[in-house]
Chains A and B, each alone.
Chain A
Amino acid sequence: MHFIVEPGFFSSQPVHVALTIGGVVAVVSAAVGIFTVIRGQSFAGHTLTDVSTAGGSAAFLLGMNPLLGFIGLSLVGSGTMDLIGVQRVRGRDLATGIVLGASIGLAALFLYLDTTTRATTGATQQILFGSIFTLDPGEVPIVVAFSVISLVALAVIYRPLLLATMSPDIAAARGVRLRPVGLAFMLALAVSVGLSSLAIGSILSTALLIGPAAAALRLTKRIGAALITAVAIGVAATWVGVLLAYDSYYWGSSHNGYPVSFFIVALTFLIYLASGLPARRAATSAPAKRH
């Protein structure tokens, strides 16, 4: 048992908080991620992570809870992208690119002010790469509340969103109002990105958003099954990542351990690579049926 789970894992409070927040965030990220991938909005999702970097660093500067900064500014960012024209395929890259550039500039300013005017030593590391073990237990209810909001919003718009994603023309013909549905999804995406920024860092949160969903969509084309698979992959990668980070303390004599965000992202990436294997085997055994 010691080879897999080092002593004290189940009684450690930082581990409890990490497993709870990591698990909840992984569920939201995977569910939102499925729609992000099939709508082709991965770039928009990544841009929102950069926006949330600016939000997190501003929150540090103001002495606020970083989660509110992450989520607050991603909401503003998603609204701005909608305004500039993220709905239209032609305007999409432009809108996201402009918001991305502006928000990284703001993040640079805020992080500079953080480190030069306040005693916030770890701010840059914490915002960019996360620190799930150092979160306060009081953070759990806030994370759960935002997660529920995001999931409920997704459930409410689920059917029109699916139709609007698969065939916008039919959806429009059936009276689905594409713009409000798209905006509602962008807002759910913004909350999800803010949550994963807190868990694994704003720069890495794209990985948790896109990775499990992309892997699941390689394994199944049925949307319901893909949702469940993505959630399972996301939660598994997060929890095993937390476990490995905890165990890594005992790997060397220096007792430093390795960052949990690295493990989560590495596992997500490995699962994505592995998810290509069944399709490849099917392709080699029945080449005629390929796509």
Chain B
Amino acid sequence: MRPFEGESPRRGRRLAAGALVAAAMTAATGCGGGARVADSVGSSVAPDSGVINAVGAENEYGDVISQIGGRYVDVSSILNNPNTDPHTFESSPRVAREVSSAQLIVQNGVGYDDFMTKIESASSNSARRVIIVQKLLGLPTDTPNPHLWYDPTTMPAVARAVSTALAALQPAHAAYFQAAAAKFVTSLNPWLDAIAAFKAKYAGTTAATTEPVADYLLTAMGIDNMTPFGFQADIMNGIDPSPEDISLENGFFTKHQVKVFCYNQQVVDALTTSIRQTAQKKGIPVVGVYETMPTPGYDYQSWMVAEVQAIQSAVADGTSTEHL
């Protein structure tokens, strides 16, 4: 419906001619398409008008970019569907288009979003700035657990790197980006306080998981995750865990060895479903954890606070929060 979208300014004359034809057709047919043509003429000069195109490979990174860039950035996120598993994401032409026009990209790394690197090298652009969170944190590529956004030390580093990159793209607004990054880092304090309060009271609490998605947070909270990492990695990678590990995992619930069960709502199969049912039957509270920020209704900070509160009420009162 927007026939001239994406035309470069170089083709302005052809575009103008097209707009004339379209306007004539609009006049003839009496429908309201004329305004749209005018719109797309306007948007074709968008890159020069001061809005930075940015992409977050996962919507939690996209959220941080938009909190820091404010009205100076236009952010889109590639992985943002809470009902699918990002581990099995398949790229599409839409993603390729968004990446090729982006001036700033934030991606996770650790093999979690390798498709981004492929698309970036397919549409090379020396002016584009890419922040790979794994490299930012100085982690090796074979880091076993790729879910870096659950680690409390990750996002402050990302926020600072984003503010530096945005300042380089638009030096005039450097002070704005810097202030926004500082404000973002401060806004994480309620989450960090909640983690510290939990740890002070419940350190050593036992938990079981299906998948390592929230493991960094559990570690920060002083929770002892009983599930062997081999089992978690099998579920994450979509292969069958061994019968020994399945028996062990079910045993945590039937023998009441854990206080809380963190269940990845985005990596689900028949086995995880049957394990969740065992936990429910045995009265072990279930807390839903996510690969991408559950939307709408959350930003990164409120999502993380909600996770800690859900785990706290599971441990303190035995309450389940299966979906945030």
Listed in ascending order, the chain A residues whose CB lies under 8 Å from chain B are 8, 12-15, 18, 66, 112, 115-126, 131, 133-136, 245-246, 248-249, 254-257, 259-260
Residues facing A in B191-241 (CB within 8 A) are 228, 230, 234-241
Bound complex: CA A259 to CA B243 (Å): 10
Most buried by B among A118, A122, A133, A134: A122
In the complex, B269 has a CB within 8 A of chain A: yes
Chain A residues within 8 Å of B238, by CB: 121-125
Ordered by A's residue number, 10 sampled pairs between the chains whose C-beta atoms are within 8 Å are A8-B244, A116-B84, A119-B83, A120-B269, A121-B87, A121-B267, A126-B270, A249-B244, A255-B244, A259-B240
Contacts A12-B243, A119-B85, A255-B244 supplied; 19 other A-B pairs, CB < 8 Å: A13-B250, A66-B270, A116-B90, A119-B266, A119-B267, A121-B85, A121-B87, A121-B235, A121-B269, A126-B269, A131-B271, A133-B243, A134-B240, A246-B242, A249-B243, A254-B230, A255-B242, A257-B244, A260-B240
Contact B246 A125 (CB under 8 A): no
How far does the alpha carbon of A184 sit from the alpha carbon of B113 in the complex, in Å? 50
Most B CB contacts (10 A, CB to CB) among A126, A134, A136 go to A134
Residue B189 CB within 8 A of the other chain: no
Chain B contacts for A13, CB-based, 8 A: 247, 250
Q: Nearest 9 pairs between A and B by C-beta?
A: A257-B242, A122-B238, A14-B243, A115-B88, A134-B271, A121-B238, A131-B240, A133-B243, A119-B268
Contact B230 A125 (CB under 8 A): no
Chain A residue nearest in CB terms to B246: A14
**B251 nearest in chain A by CB position:** A13
Q: Cα distance A256–B242 when bound, in Å? A: 7
Taking the closest CB of chain B, its distance from the CB of A262, in whole angstroms, is: 11
Which B residues contact A (CB, under 8 angstroms)?
A: 83-85, 87-90, 228, 230, 234-247, 250, 265-271, 274
Measured between beta carbons, the chain A residues less than 8 angstroms from B83 are 117-119
A214 to chain B, nearest CB (A): 28
Contacts of B85 in A (CB 8 A): 115, 119-121
Closest chain B CB from A18 CB (angstroms): 7
Report the Cα distance A123→B240, complex, angstroms. Answer: 11
Which residues does chain B contribute within 8 Å of A118, judged by CB atoms?
83-84
Cα A245 to Cα B240 with chains together (Å): 12
Residues of B within 8 A of A120 (CB): 85, 268-269
Q: Is the CB of A123 within 8 A of B269?
A: yes
Contact A12 B88 (CB under 8 A): no
Instruction: Return B92 CB to nearest CB of chain A, in Å.
Output: 9
- Smallest CB gap from B82: residue in A: A119
Among B88, B236, B239, max chain A CB count under 10 A is at B88
Q: Shortest distance in angstroms between B61's beta carbon and chain A's nearest beta carbon?
A: 20
Query: Which of B243, B247, B271 has the most A CB atoms < 10 Å from its CB?
Result: B243
Known: A126-B269, A136-B274. A249 touches B242 (CB 8 A): yes
- Residues from chain B with Cβ under 8 Å of A66 in the complex: 270
Distance (whole angstroms) from the CB of A233 to the closest CB of chain B: 23
Given the known interface contacts A14-B246, A18-B243, the answer about A255 and B228 at a Cβ–Cβ threshold of 8 Å is yes
Q: When the two chains form their complex, are residues A136 and B244 in contact, meaning their CB atoms are under 8 A apart?
A: no
Interface centre among B85, B90, B245, B266 (most CB of A within 10 A): B85
Alpha-carbon gap, A36 to B179, bound state (A):
75
Least Cβ distance of A239 to chain B in Å? 14
- The main secondary structure of chain A at its interface with chain B is helix
**Is there an interface contact between B228 and A116, defined as CB atoms closer than 8 Å?**
no
Taken together as a complex, chains A and B put the C-alpha atoms of A116 and B87 apart, in Å, by 10
B70 to chain A, nearest CB (A): 32
Interface residue from A126, A136, A245 paired with B243 (Cβ < 8 Å): A245
Residues of chain B within 8 A (CB-CB) of A133 are: 240-243, 246
A118 to B274, CA, bound (A): 17
Smallest Cβ distance from B234 to chain A, in angstroms? Answer: 8
B89 touches A246 (CB 8 A): no
Q: State whether A121 and B271 are in contact (beta carbons under 8 Å apart), knowing that A12-B247, A13-B250, A256-B230 are contacts in the complex.
A: no
Q: Identify the closest chain B residue to A66 (Cβ).
A: B270
Measured CB to CB, the closest approach of chain A to B266, in angstroms, equals 5
How many Å from the CB of A255 to the closest CB on chain B?
Answer: 6
Which residues of B lie under 8 Å from residue A119 when comparing CB positions?
A: 83-85, 265-268
- The answer to whether B90 touches A136, judged by C-beta atoms less than 8 angstroms apart, is no
CB pair B84–A255 under 8 Å, yes or no, is: no
Residue of A nearest to B267 (CB): A121
Alpha-carbon separation in the docked complex, A32 to B245 (Å): 35
Please measure, in the bound complex, the distance between the C-alpha atom of A15 and the C-alpha atom of B250, giving whole angstroms.
13
Minimum distance in angstroms from B248 CB to a CB of chain A:
10
Shortest beta-carbon distance, A238 to chain B, in Å? 14
* Pair A246/B269 contact, Cβ less than 8 Å: no
**B270 smallest CB distance to A (angstroms):** 6
In the assembled complex, the Cα of A166 lies from the Cα of B266 at a distance in Å of 54
Q: Which residue of A lies closest to B240 (CB)?
A: A131
Choose one: A112, A122, A136, A245; the contact of B239 (CB below 8 Å). A122
Q: Give Cα distance in the complex from A257 to B241, angstroms.
A: 8
Distance, CA A184 to CA B324, complexed state (A): 51
- Residue of B at shortest CB range from A18? B243
Nearest B residue to A120, CB-CB: B269
- Bound Cα distance from A256 to B266, whole angstroms: 23
Give min CB distance, B111 to chain A, whole Å.
Answer: 15
Q: Is the CB of A134 within 8 A of B241?
A: yes
Chain B's closest residue to A117 (CB) is B84
CA distance A246 to B84 in the complex (A): 31
| Assembled-state Cα–Cα distance A223/B247 (Å) | 42
Q: How far is the CA of A117 from the CA of B88 in the complex (A)?
A: 10
Q: Contact at A125–B247, with CB atoms within 8 Å?
A: no
Residue contact B242 to A134, C-beta cutoff 8 Å: no
Q: Nearest chain A CB to B210's CB is how many angstroms away? A: 10
